[in-house]
Amino acid sequence: MPLTVIAALVGGAICAAAGQLLFAAGARGRTELLSFLNISIMAGLGLYALSTVFWIYSLSRAQLVQVYPFTVLTFVLIYLSAILLLGERLSISGFCGIMLVLVGLCLLSMQ
């Protein structure tokens, strides 16, 4: 897989993860429907849109079976960011899950 495609996939995963973190920040403590229309939610949507552009670019240059495993990178980035930035707790099973996901990503990307 070309380096430009890998860079786009990693960039897309970072944008998607950042979008999720902004969604979490924008949703915390809110209960009214209109209160979800805030800058954090809007910025998260923007990052998700950018992530989609990276994804479509990658699909135009590589096969879906090569590209799709990179979606799990978003999971890893969100999990680690929630721990580091939001103060959420790391569990042993969560750590093991992240390691399994990363090993799987490496194996699948070697095709």
Residue 12 CA to residue 102 CA, distance in Å, equals: 17
Give the per-residue pLDDT at 69.
84
Residue 20 CA to residue 59 CA, distance in Å, equals: 22
The pLDDT tens digits of the residues spanning 15-67 come to 999 999 999 989 888 888 787 889 999 999 999 999 999 999 999 999 998 89
Q: Are 16 and 47 in contact (CB under 8 A)?
A: yes
SS3 of 26-63: the string is HHCCCCCHHHHCCHHHHHHHHHHHHHHHHHHHHHHHCC
Domain boundaries defined on the chain: 3-109
Element (H, E) at 91: none
Q: How confident is the model at residue 111 (pLDDT cuts 50, 70, 90)?
A: low
